[in-house]
Structure 1
């Protein structure tokens, strides 16, 4: 069953360019990961330091494999250094 993963990240001020580059790297790698369907990155209109990434995966197992991917984790560590607080991850399924 397909799922949506919603990741919220609150960025430190002045780190927008670095984050954009790292998110692009993640997206390019995710696009070739088994089970990846689509993704989008959004920036809050009211809070420009809040970013949301929404990705769609064929299954929870596909997402978990990607979540544990060492290359993904290396990029995620770099992203974590740019954040004010830990990212929040939520997983939804279609009804």
Structure 2
């Protein structure tokens, strides 16, 4: 089942060039991963230091393999040096399912 991952980051001011370069590296790495479908990066209109990435994967397993990839983990640690707080992740699957 298709997976949508919402990744939220709040960055410090003054490091836009470095942040964008790392985000591009992450996207480039994801593009080459099995199961990657698409991604988009959004900047908050209310707070330009808050960014959200919406990443779409063929299934949750493909996402988990990329999330746990050592190259991705290294890039994520580099990004965290420019963040006000830790990255937050929300993971969703496509479709309406309400458990009993």
Q: TM-score, normalization: structure 1?
A: 0.97
Residue 32 of structure 1 is matched in structure 2 by 32
Residue 23 of structure 1 is matched in structure 2 by 23
Residue 56 of structure 1 is matched in structure 2 by 56
Q: Deviations over 1:17-41 (max 9, x none)?
A: 1110000000011001010000011
In structure 1, stretches of 5+ residues that fail to align are none
Residue 87 of structure 2 is matched in structure 1 by 87
Segments ≥4 residues shifted beyond 3 Å: none
In structure 2, stretches of 5+ residues that fail to align are 96-100
Larger gyration radius, structure 1 or structure 2? 2
How many correspondences in the alignment? Answer: 95
Equivalents in 2 of 1:17, 1:52: separation in Å? 17
